[in-house]
Structure 1
Amino acid sequence: MAISLKYAVVERERRYRVAGIPEGVVGTSQIVDRYVTGTRMRLREVRDRDGTVTRKLGHKVRLTDGPAAVACTNLYLDEEEWALLVTLPATVLRKTRHLVERDGLRVALDEHEDGTLVAEIDDGDHPSSLVPEWLDVIENVTRDEAWTGARLASR
């Protein structure tokens, strides 16, 4: 059965393991991702510095071999919906997200509980290979399954 992507947003992200958090952080939030067992669904709770809490249910469909391009659909959840869905069995990933803006580029840099830093660059509709000089890259992990959120949660 073919899946309609009519309401999905396509993400084309490049991911890099990096050595440090660069200058230019414009925002930081705490994220808890719950990857629902046996599905392609993720429950995400985002807590911003100002106290705002956003909860959503996401579904991802791969568009290519590997994790580089996915079609994402999100539903925003209220307290009752969250309370029900958070009871589903899941693996959990906690991280701090630092948004870095420099030289006209926005990079989401995730700091995992073990100290690992993974930078994500969303290319949108314009694939690129540009890696800013100020991003201290250790390794390109864009096509490495081990560095997807679901895999990191199951470690």
Structure 2
Amino acid sequence: MTATRVITDRYLVGTRLRLRRADFSDGGCELKLTQKVPMRRSGAVQGLITNTYLSSNEYDLLASLPAAVLSKTRSSVPPLGVDVFGGHLQGLILAEAEFTTDEEAQSFVPPPECVAEVTHDLRFTGGRLVEASRQDVLEWLSEYGLRPE
């Protein structure tokens, strides 16, 4: 079964923090504050991630801070999370595989439907995409031989 949720990420200005609101198709909602610290190793290894789950009041207070906003709809098709972006990134679709161990990540083979592998391209992380213009993203995609309309 595919789970779908609408995600609004607020990248708090001047920090490495992301405030996330995920609205699930069943009416549920998840609110959390996340910090991601990349690993300085080669290969597909996960960095350090810290999540703090928030109440509505905590979320509302933090949402009042200056932030750059990114919106997307995520469908979970294990082991992939498929993100369809909205706003200035309308039309961009990225899939991210999630694993519990580094070994699983290193042995993953993307399905044939994947048209470009951008795992090691930091420009395609949320923190960079939120600051990128549509033209920036189109130029980055062209480096992979993709010519979106």
TM-score when normalising by structure 1: 0.74
For residue 100 of structure 1, report the CA deviation from its aligned partner: 1.1
Counterparts of 1:124 and 1:144, CA distance in 2: 22
Aligned: 1:112 with 2:85:
yes
Counterparts of 1:128 and 1:32, CA distance in 2: 29
Q: SS state of the match for residue 140, structure 1?
A: coil
Cα gap change, 1:107 to 1:76, in 2 (>3 Å): same
Question: Does the 8 Å contact 1:44/1:57 carry over to 2?
Answer: yes
Counterparts of 2:98 and 2:34, CA distance in 1: 17
Unaligned runs of 5+ in 2: 133-149
Question: Does the 8 Å contact 2:5/2:75 carry over to 1?
Answer: yes
Supply the AA of the counterpart residue of 1:109: V
Supply the AA of the counterpart residue of 1:85: L
Supply the AA of the counterpart residue of 1:98: S
- In the comparison of the two structures, how many residue pairs are matched? 126
Query: Which structure shows the higher strand fraction?
Result: 1
- Structure 1 residues 25-47: Cα deviation after superposition (integer angstroms, max 9, x where no partner): 61110000011111110000000
Supply the AA of the counterpart residue of 1:128: Q
**Percentage of pairs with the same residue:** 37
Question: Does the 8 Å contact 1:68/1:142 carry over to 2?
Answer: no
For residue 65 of structure 1, report the CA deviation from its aligned partner: 5.7
Unaligned runs of 5+ in 1: 1-24
- Give runs of ≥4 in structure 1 deviating > 4 Å: 65-68
Matches within 5 A, 1:1-155: 26-64=2-40, 69-101=46-78, 106-113=79-86, 114-125=90-101, 126=103, 127-133=105-111, 135-155=112-132
Find the counterpart in structure 2 of residue 22 from structure 1.
none
- Structure 1 residues 58-108: Cα deviation after superposition (integer angstroms, max 9, x where no partner): 11112226895311111111111111100111111100001114xxxx210
Q: SS state of the match for residue 106, structure 2?
A: coil
For residue 131 of structure 1, report the CA deviation from its aligned partner: 2.3
Counterparts of 1:98 and 1:57, CA distance in 2: 21
Query: Which structure shows the higher helix fraction?
Result: 2
TM-score when normalising by structure 2: 0.77
Higher RCO (CA 8 Å, separation ≥ 6 residues)? 1
CA RMSD of aligned residues (A): 1.9
Q: SS state of the match for residue 138, structure 1?
A: coil
Question: Does the 8 Å contact 2:45/2:106 carry over to 1?
Answer: no
